[in-house]
């Protein structure tokens, strides 16, 4: 019995020892967790404030915005996303990346070609690549600061945090090497740059590049600033040599190659749907006009009285 008692005391001792060891273990784990958090958070802040280390595939090699505009004036801000045209009264839905016609154009992520057509008056030979929105989100940079005083913006007018950008548009191309419905791999050459559509006769040959969360939409609607995702050098990041290359190019009026549109659709896959919406909108406006006409007449009558 006595022996048993001793045994019992020993067991009690060892169980309280275990509790102490467990306690120390928990404290050590907590300290390690706090240390890890403190160690990681400054690093995260660094990523927000400085150049991040994400390896992106760019739409063209070593991309830079156009330093000159269509007419050859020094207007780098006009190349950016926002209300950057005509003194802040007109939108630019993407970013213009300087590229002499014939420059390779790359798929920036894995995806599918969901629209492709030759728009003679606007986008020229252009396509939409649909990507996984999560892949695009991973490329997001938090260190890009728009020049708001020049009308530059980060988000389209109807943007909200639920919007998931997943459409990449490439425009004014001279050639494309893919078909509607094709799936492509990140880094695949999908075409060549050009000056087709309203970029014809430009002194700033470029790839017009958009990031959108819906394929259609007027002005800045449904689009976001591509510079939030891709490191495209702006005027502040370009060297004198970079600018000199563009200055030389601006001495030429670049013309589109004839027949570039042959063999392509002339309208978006959404053309019929768009036309239906346009007609509906027109009918709505007409109705509204008629509805507002009646009080106008009565008010005139009141004045006469
Ligand atoms: Zn553009």
pLDDT tens, residue by residue, 36-66: 765 544 444 333 344 577 889 999 999 999 9
Q: Is 133 helix (H, G, I), strand (E, B) or coil?
A: helix
Rounded CA separation 111/166 (Å): 9
Distance of CA 297 from the midpoint of ligand 1 (Å): 46
Q: Is the pLDDT of residue 280 over 50?
A: yes
| Centroid of ligand 1 to alpha carbon of 205 (angstroms) | 10
Question: Ligand 1 center to residue 104 CA distance, Å?
Answer: 18
- Give me ligand 1 centre to Cα 198, in Å: 10
CA of 23 to the centre of ligand 1 (A): 63
Interval 10-27 mean pLDDT: 77
Q: Ligand 1 centre and the CA of 278: distance in Å?
A: 24
Ligand 1 centre to CA of 230 (Å) is 16
- Least confident piece of the model among 110-119, 232-241, 289-298: 289-298
Region 197-222 average pLDDT = 96
Distance 145 CA to ligand 1 centre (A): 19
Average pLDDT over the chain, rounded to whole?
Answer: 88
Query: 76-272 maps to which CATH number?
Result: 2.70.70.10
pLDDT score of 115: 97
Top-confidence residue, 40 or 21: 21
CA gap 67, 53 in Å, rounded: 26
Residue 195, classified by CB atoms within 10 Å of its CB into exposed (0-12), middle (13-18) or buried (19+), is buried
DSSP 8-state assignment for residue 202: B
pLDDT for 243-269, tens place per residue? 999 999 999 999 999 999 999 999 999
Calculate how far, in angstroms, residue 220's C-alpha sits from the geometric centre of ligand 1.
Answer: 12
Kindly give the distance from the C-alpha atom of residue 80 to the centroid of ligand 1, in angstroms, as a whole number: 8
- Whose CA is closest to 80, among 250, 224, 237? 224
Q: What is the pLDDT of residue 260?
A: 96
**pLDDT above 90 coverage of the chain, percent:** 70
> Distance between CA 264 and CA 261 in Å, rounded?
6
What is the per-residue pLDDT across 163-178, written as a single tens digit (0 to 9) for each?
999 999 999 999 999 9
Check whether 303 has a pLDDT greater than 90: no
Confidence class for position 20, pLDDT limits 50, 70, 90: confident
CA distance 41 to 34: 11
Tokens of 28: 């050590």
In DSSP notation, 268-289 reads -TTHHHHHHHHHHHHHHHHHHH
Distance 222 CA to ligand 1 centre (A): 16
277 CA distance to ligand 1 centroid (A)?
25
pLDDT for res 48: 39
Measured distance CA(157)–CA(137) in Å, rounded? 20
- Rounded to whole angstroms, the Cα distance separating 226 from 118 reads 22
């Amino acid at each position: 019995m006595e022996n048993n008692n001793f045994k019992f005391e020993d067991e009690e001792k060892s169980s309280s020892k275990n509790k102490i060891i467990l306690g120390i273990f928990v404290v050590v784990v907590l300290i390690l967790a706090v240390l890890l958090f403190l160690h990681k958070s400054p690093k995260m802040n660094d990523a927000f404030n400085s150049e991040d280390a994400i390896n992106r595939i760019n739409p063209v090699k070593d991309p830079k915005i156009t330093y000159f505009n269509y007419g050859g004036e020094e207007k780098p801000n006009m190349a950016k996303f926002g209300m950057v045209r005509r003194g802040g009264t007109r939108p630019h839905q993407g970013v213009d990346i300087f590229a002499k016609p014939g420059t390779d154009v790359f798929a920036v992520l894995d995806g599918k070609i969901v629209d492709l057509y030759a728009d003679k008056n606007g986008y020229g030979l252009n396509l939409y690549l649909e990507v996984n929105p999560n892949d695009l989100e991973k490329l997001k940079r938090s260190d890009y600061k728009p020049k708001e005083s020049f009308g530059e913006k980060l988000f389209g007018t109807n943007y909200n945090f639920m919007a998931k950008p997943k459409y990449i548009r490439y425009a004014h191309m001279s050639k494309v090497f893919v078909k509607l419905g094709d799936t492509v791999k990140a880094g695949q050459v999908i075409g060549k740059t050009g000056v087709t559509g309203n970029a014809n006769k430009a002194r700033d040959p470029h790839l017009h590049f958009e990031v959108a969360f819906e394929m259609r939409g007027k002005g800045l609607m449904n689009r976001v600033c591509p510079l939030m995702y891709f490191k495209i050098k702006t005027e502040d990041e370009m060297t004198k040599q970079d600018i000199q290359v563009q200055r030389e190019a601006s001495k030429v009026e670049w013309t589109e190659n004839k027949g570039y549109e042959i063999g392509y659709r002339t309208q978006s896959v959404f053309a019929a749907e768009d036309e239906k919406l346009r007609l509906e909108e027109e009918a709505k406006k007409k109705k509204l006009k008629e509805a507002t006409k009646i009080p106008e007449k009565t008010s005139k009558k009141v004045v006469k009285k």
